[in-house]
Amino acid sequence: MDDIIQDTPADISPSLEFALRLARAQAALVRRLDQVLGGYHGISFGDFMLLHYLNRAPGGRLRRVDLAERQGLTASGVTRTLLPLEKIGLVERQQDPRDARVAYAAITDTGRELLNNAVVVAEQISKDLLRNCPTAHFAELSTALGLIAGMNATNS
């Protein structure tokens, strides 16, 4: 037994500690929102975010590459996410009349209605998950998270 070397946790920097806690918090948030949004509305949190970004975009549509950037996915990942949503009528494909190479994903009226209902559930879950966090810190934390994600006014 004396030959076994015990691993001791290394001291880590505050930035790594923050990153680890952020990843754990993100996993807990996604897991809870997936569960509740799936149960009430039949969509995942990823689907919710996609509908949210489309709804906020001018004309309710975005190029797939722009949607991929906002979602943190590849273009093929966005395509895989969009297919089931297209099949159930929440989003639709639109071609650019001036450039046939450009395709848009657009939220439908049905998608907008589902999103509006799902926002109520997502708001409640978010408030529940953040109930122990001081609301005075939300703006500062939101800014920090936006910086990490490379977000700005045009892609938030």
* pTM of the complete model: 0.84
pLDDT range class, residue 3, cuts 50, 70, 90:
low
Q: Is the pLDDT at 154 greater than 80, yes or no? A: no
Q: Is the pLDDT at 40 greater than 90, yes or no? A: yes
Q: Which parts of the chain fold into alpha helices (H)? A: 14-41, 45-56, 64-71, 75-87, 109-129, 138-149
Please tell me the predicted confidence (pLDDT) of residue 155. Answer: 57
Closest CA to 123 of 56, 40, 57, 23: 40
Mean pLDDT of 30-43: 96
Please tell me the predicted confidence (pLDDT) of residue 144. Answer: 87
The one-letter amino acid code at 30 reads V
Q: Is the pLDDT at 72 greater than 60, yes or no? A: yes
Please tell me the predicted confidence (pLDDT) of residue 152. Answer: 64
Class of the 40-131 domain?
Answer: mainly alpha
The one-letter amino acid code at 103 reads A
- Annotated domain spans of the chain: 40-131
C-alpha distances (whole Å) from 81 to each of 34, 75, 89, 91, 106 are 14, 10, 13, 11, 13
Please tell me the predicted confidence (pLDDT) of residue 26. Answer: 93
Q: Is the pLDDT at 67 greater than 90, yes or no? A: yes
Mean pLDDT of 38-44: 96
Q: What is the mean pLDDT of the chain?
A: 89
Give the model confidence (pLDDT) of 82-98 as tens digits.
999 999 999 999 988 88
